[in-house]
Each structure stands twice: as C-alpha cells, then as structure tokens.
Amino acid sequence: MGEFTIIGLRVVREAGRCGSFSTAAENLGYTQSAVSRQIALMEQAAGRTLFERHARGVRPTDAGRIILRHAETVLAGVGAARHDLDDLVARPPALLRVGAFSTAMAALVPRAIATTSDRLARVPLREGTSPRLLAALARGRLDLAVVTATPNLPGDLALESLLDDPLLIAVGPGHALAHRVSVTPAELLRNERWIAGSTESNSTLLGAFGDATWEPDIAFVARDWFAKLGLVAAGLGVTVVPGIAVPVLPPTIALVRIDHPAAVRGTAVVYRPGAGVAEPRRIFTEALRDGAAELSAEVRQRLR
C-alpha cells in the first residue's frame, strides 16, 4: 500500500471540487495524465476507489468523501505552516526589556542574549538591585527580570525559579583556605576579616549563613566586584561570591564551598503575565535555564 502525499491530496481535493480530472489539471497547471496518475496513487494508498468515473466527469465515492474531508484539514495545516514561516521571515525579531542584578549580568544573562540573538532583535538591559527591578516590572518598564528569589512580589507579577545558587568564599592564593574544598561557618565566623558591600551584614551575602549573634570583622567596604576581588587577591580579606559569577573570576582567586545548607541564594525570573511578549519571554527564559545548568556544572568543576 502506498502513502498519501501532499500533492496527491491537493489533486484529490481539486478533482472533488471540480467534478472533473481535466478541469482539475487545468486549474492546477498539470497535464491530465499527471492528475490521473496522482489519483491512482491516492486510490492505491487508500486501498479503495475514490471517484466514480462518468462520461461527464467524476463523483467522489464514500471513501473519496472521507479522503476529501481529511485532505481539507491536512492542506489547511500545511498552508498555516507556510504562512507562519513566511511571517517569521517578514516580521522583525522581537524586543525584550530585561533587568538583572549585578552578578547575573556577569555570565548568566550575557549567555542567554548570545543564544537568542537570532530570534530577539534587541534586549535592552537594566542592572539594579532585586527590589528596584521588581518595582520597574510592576510599573511596566521591564518585561522580565532576573532577581534573587523573593516570596513577596508586588502587583500581579509571576515568578519562576531558575536555580539555587551556591555561595562561595573567595580567598587569595596565599590564604590558609586556598587549598580547601569546603569550610564550615564556625571556622569562617571565628577567624576571618571580611570584604563586603556594606557594614550591615544582614544586607549582604554574609547574612546567609551567619547567626544572629555574629558580628563580622569587616575590614573593607567595597560595592564594586573588581574592587572586592582586588582586595581578596592582595590577601587583605575574604568575600562571598555567588556561583553564577565563577566563570568571570580570575585564576588568582581560590574558591571554597561553605558547608551549610543556608549558603545558597535563590535566583529566579519574574515577569508580568499577559504583557504582550509571551513568546520572546519564553525563548529568553529557556535560554536562562540552559545557562543556569551550564554554570552549575562549571561551579562543580572548579570546586573539585
């Protein structure tokens, strides 16, 4: 038994509409023999006669009417697919306004932009703290934001988790921990001088694994990551870095895992449902998920 084909179904449909093989051939730009051959192939595929031949034309059999009905559905689907492909070429790629916190801008977001560059025309970026990004989303100034996971979302925003990002200790090459794989919070809280973005430990990554009584010895306050890492490399203290920043850290910095379940930071995508950019948002979020998986593997590799 043969196979149904698009050409064959199109010929069957036209013959059914016209009631004549010769008229179908004329309408389709085929020879009559070509039409007869296609009809014969479709009858072979169906295992039944599709048309009753008469002196004044043809008429579909019961089997022919079934094939005609399905031919309409199949050919409509093929036409819709062609229309969508033509529309894809004619329509300029979409624009998506993206915000992210600073360390997500280091590797996670750039990788997502690179992998979606053929489908998204532009991805205007905005860097900021998670609260500021959420406020911008709520006001309609962003389409999507990569933030540290938060249970309290303003307005009608929706959240999708990306990863639980491990927090790591960055130390200089001569530090006593430089060749360690992991360290307990007790060791860190007891001995270290810290480089942090603020003197208030609860407002920094230091608050993730310390207890309420701990007062860290903050030797230097530096908001810029290059400044923090420069101070660490010089042996002037240690700092906490998120795992997603690992690919951009210099080889002079050693990384140590914090042996504590709270030493992670949730990272998520937040957006406004129904904001008119559902498809670009889906494309970019999938790229972020792929990038998050790659970064997690790179962190594991570097900590071996």
- Structural domain harbouring 54: 6-90
Residue 293 confidence (pLDDT): 93
| 61 assigned to some structural domain | yes
Mean pLDDT within 135-161: 86
Residue 1 confidence (pLDDT): 63
| 1 assigned to some structural domain | no
Q: How confident is the model at residue 151 (pLDDT cuts 50, 70, 90)?
A: low
Q: Say yes or no to pLDDT of 10 above 80.
A: yes
Digit-coded pLDDT (tens) for 261-275: 888 889 999 998 877
Residue 199 confidence (pLDDT): 79
Digit-coded pLDDT (tens) for 28-80: 899 989 989 999 999 999 898 999 998 888 999 999 899 999 989 998 888 88
* Lowest pLDDT segment from 134-138, 147-151, 224-228: 147-151
Residue 97 confidence (pLDDT): 93
Q: What CATH number corresponds to the domain at position 36? A: 1.10.10.10
| 219 assigned to some structural domain | yes
* Cα 40 from Cα 17, distance rounded (Å): 17
Last residue of a domain, one of 90, 113, 137: 90
Residue 211 confidence (pLDDT): 65
Last residue of a domain, one of 42, 59, 90: 90
To the nearest whole percent, how much of the chain has pLDDT over 90?
A: 44
60 and 115 belong to one structural domain: no
159 and 274 belong to one structural domain: yes
Residue 203 confidence (pLDDT): 59
Indicate the burial class of 227 (C-beta count within 10 angstroms; 0-12, 13-18, 19 or more): middle
Q: What CATH number corresponds to the domain at position 142? A: 3.40.190.10
* Cα 59 from Cα 18, distance rounded (Å): 9
Quote the crossing angle between the two packed helices 21-28 and 6-18, to the nearest 10°. 120
